[in-house]
Chain A
Amino acid sequence: MATNRTLPFKDMGGCSISGVMDESGRRFSGEEIIRSIRNMHERSNGLGGGFAAYGIFPERADQYCMQLMFDTPEAKRETEALLDERCNVHYAEDIPTRPHEAITDEPLLHRYFVSVEPDKSRPHLDENDLMVELHMEINTTIQDAFVFSAGKNMGCFKGVGFPEDIGEYFRLEEYEAYTWIAHGRFPTNTTGWWGGAHPFSILDWAIVHNGEISSYGINKRYLRNFGYECTLQTDTEVIAYLFDLLIRKHGLPLEVACQAMAPPFWEDIERMPEREQAQAKAIRAVYGGALLNGPFAVVVGSTGRMIGFSDRTKLRPQVCARGGDRLYIASEEAAIRTICPDPDVVWHPDGGEPVVGELQAGVQVA
């Protein structure tokens, strides 16, 4: 079955996003996140929905879980040959699903738990670099295969449909995670391809995104300087790569990375104390290519962390709440209150201001 996997040049449209993290590391079922995203049904149009979950494979936490879709059995065979060549596959299985009246044309969905050996001829590449390379190679060279996610102790589940239907289809109520993020799409130009749904993921980064990145053209070229090829041609992809570049490769502290992507205005920088001002100026001058312009609100998941932030002028909605050990971030307050009717605090973060959830000190999630 050959499908058209060309994506529109940019993923234009509106969306719903929701994320929940339990900072105590306590894991909880996917039922809640499905309920939250269902609450914002109106914000998506049935052309894409998806989830990312962290802490779902504690028994294989030291292995990369590669979740893939295949449009054809040949693609699956080709991918498996490549995996055998590049890594050790410890365990593989079909991703569990249930028949769902709203979900049709489903591709083959399979997951592989793998590890990679150091490449002696290229000692400068660590296992993460090798995994990124493998991820990109599958996506760019194998016609009918696509990697949903390839991180440790996490996974992305996504497809064409309303997000609550996708959640039920993937039986997410049977998983337990300490962080769940979810997305419902309202694309204005789409080809109904499962790989095109959110989240977008690289290593353990997963991004759900509501908005359009007007700076996509330069973000893509900036990332290319550092070896990232934007294969999907979606603006969400650049956010995932930017997080990987700024935090993993450049080692920037999280708040600095967020400041690079959504920096303060110059008029605000002018009013900062001297040292802070010099720092803010340097970040803008050096990381201009990483500035994300245009309307967006994102929730970013990674191991032990959930980050919400939006564009500098906050042209897309984002509401946060805390209740007990949990941090909630969503497009609408109702989507939070439907699963947490009585939060301790609800607030609307400023544009560009990152909201960070982190595991409490000493909590291990492996």
Chain B
Amino acid sequence: MKRIIIHEEYCIGCGLCEVHCIVKHSRTGKIIRAFKEERDQIVPGVQVERDGYESFALQCRHCDDAVCIEACMTGAMHRDPETGAVLCDTDRCVGCWMCIMVCPAGAIQQGADGTVASKCDACTDEEIPVCVANCPNEALVLEDEE
């Protein structure tokens, strides 16, 4: 499986990955409308962590041995059989936050309404995830797993 890798030495902390993640997961898919109409309703699946000049765009690693799936009591957190991506079925999520507690990467958040978990869905319908496609410094890249 191809995975999104962050070369943190080239992450410039611009936040364009977050911007494009929000647009991708908006209702209209149009950047200006997404921000004007839905900004408060979407939590991006990628989050830029900043500390001084260093920064790091973080998203779900879609682990092979995904503890979030094991920890999920309702089976909401599951692996997509086709793509191998770890996804959250929000219809089944009850908001117990066990996934957030166990995630070693800290890559799962509460959704905007605070009732279900929200995470990176690996843009499985895109050839290249939008955060990778729009990273201006190629810090985020899609690489074959070693």
A and B touch in the complex (CB under 8 A): no
Residues of chain A at the chain B interface (Cβ within 8 Å)? none
Residues of chain B at the chain A interface (Cβ within 8 Å)? none
